[in-house]
Amino acid sequence: MSDIDDLRPAISPPVAIPPTYVEAAAVAETDRDPAASAPPPDMEISPRRFGRVAFAHPAEAEFARLLDFYRVRWDYEPTSFPLRWDAGRLVEAFTPDFFLPEHDLYVELTTMKQSLVTRKHRKLRHMREVHPDIRVVLLTRRDYDELLAGMGYGAVNITSLPESDIERVLFSPVEIADRVAELGAEISADYADRSLVLIGLLKGVTFFLADLARAVTRPLAIDFLAVAARTDTNDEPVRLSTSLDLDIRGQHVLMIEDITTTGLTLDFVLRRLRALEPASLEVCVLFDKRERRLIDLPVRYTGFSVPNAFVVGYGLDYRQLYRNLPFLCVLKPEVYARDHAAALSEINRADYTRAHQGGLDCE
């Protein structure tokens, strides 16, 4: 059914233009770039999200792929905005290419030549006059390239993580921010009559803790603990490599961890904290890889369950890198396989040298 038929009686043109949207399919298209009016025979198909989408232009498919990569939700040409009527007939409408619901933003892409860009600019000005409450941006080729850098490709370069090393993005910056805000609200409600001490386990947690603490509306103090890294060269058991600044006896403590897998690390830390006799001790974990759990932990707050794969980003590292990625992603197994093979050959070479220097072959 076409919505425009329902709308027509309500319109008293040309003076009053209702801020109502109408379905894209129902409106005569007048804003198409001529070059894009006929879809190419091999139409680009969206890989996922809103089903299979036939894009009018390859740049749109490229943009959709970029949004998918960052797990930004999108809808393709969902809405036509009426712009101009003539004798009661709608003669001009504007259908932005994309709508990003999480950002409440329409995006019009144009990679066309300058004369068409000028026409597009005019159309957008008209659109803003008629529908001042609708946020719509025009992306030219140069804007688009900048956007790629701004949306995280720059960060990827900084950490020298080629895009091809990422298998998939699990949670986008927006998804993480939304969930952290929810956790903050939940914690604020649960501790409504108390102040609390947040204790983070270094280092990955600093990103999550900084965001979470700002989402909690109760008075709070912050402290950190670190667990000494396991190395190949010593077989010391697990130990804390720092101590707390604060005295937590009688305090309400919330232990914050970025990710928990087997539960071994957190279990060790919780035992130490219990010995310090806090008034209460709860656990908040952003990413929980439950499938791999060995020790049952009393986790009160969980951000996300994550599948059984090695993840990096939002504080989590691989060999100290990738912490500054703004999203959580799975690295391609080839990345470790490559490093693992290199490390193994290093170890083999070292052992070989040591064996010969130390004369182990005498035994």
- Candidates 320, 327, 324, 331; CA nearest to 155 is 324
In the complex, minimum distance from the CB of residue 257 to ligand 5GP, in angstroms, rounded to a whole number: 6
CB contact at 8 A, 314 and 176: yes
Of the candidate residues 204, 278, 313, 315, the single one contacting Mg ion (CB under 5 A): 204
The region of 201-209, 216-224, 284-292, 297-305 touching Mg ion under the rule CB under 5 A is: 201-209
Q: Please tell me the count of residues contacting Mg ion according to CB under 5 A.
A: 1
Choosing among Mg ion, ligand 5GP, none, which partner's interface includes residue 312 (Cβ < 5 to 8 Å by kind)?
Answer: ligand 5GP
CB of 303 to Mg ion, least distance (A): 14
By CB under 6 A, name the binding residues for ligand 5GP.
204, 259-266, 289, 310-312, 316-318
> Which does residue 264 touch among Mg ion, ligand 5GP, none (CB within 5 to 8 A, set by kind)?
ligand 5GP
261 binds, among ligand 5GP, Mg ion, none (CB under 5 to 8 A by kind): ligand 5GP
Rounded-to-integer distance, Cα 94 and Cα 112, Å: 17
Q: Which is nearer to ligand 5GP, 206 or 265 (CB)?
A: 265
Residue 134: CB minimum distance to ligand 5GP, A: 41
Angle between helices 58-69 and 141-148 (to 10 degrees): 20
Minimum distance of ligand 5GP from residue 336's CB (angstroms): 11
Q: Residue 283: which of 306, 263, 310, 256 has the closest Cα? A: 256
CB-based contacts of 11: which residues, under 8 Å, 6+ apart?
17, 18, 82, 85, 88
Q: How far is the CB of 314 from ligand 5GP (least distance, A)?
A: 10
Rounded CA-CA distance 310/172 in Å is 16
Nearer to ligand 5GP, 253 or 259 (CB): 259
303 binds Mg ion (CB under 5 A): no
Options 71-79, 204-212, 317-325, 329-337: segment touching Mg ion (CB under 5 A) = 204-212
Quick one: 172 or 261, whose CB is closer to ligand 5GP?
261
The partner residues of 284 in beta bridges, in order of sequence, read 256, 301
Residue 306 near residue 276, CB atoms below 8 Å? no
Cα distances from 306 to residues 170, 285, 293, in angstroms, run: 8, 11, 12
- Cβ atoms of 60 and 76 within 8 Å: the answer is yes
- Smaller CB separation from ligand 5GP, 184 or 263: 263
Picking from 335, 344, 338, the residue whose alpha carbon sits closest to that of residue 311 is 335
Question: Which residues of this protein are in contact with Mg ion, per CB under 5 A?
Answer: 204
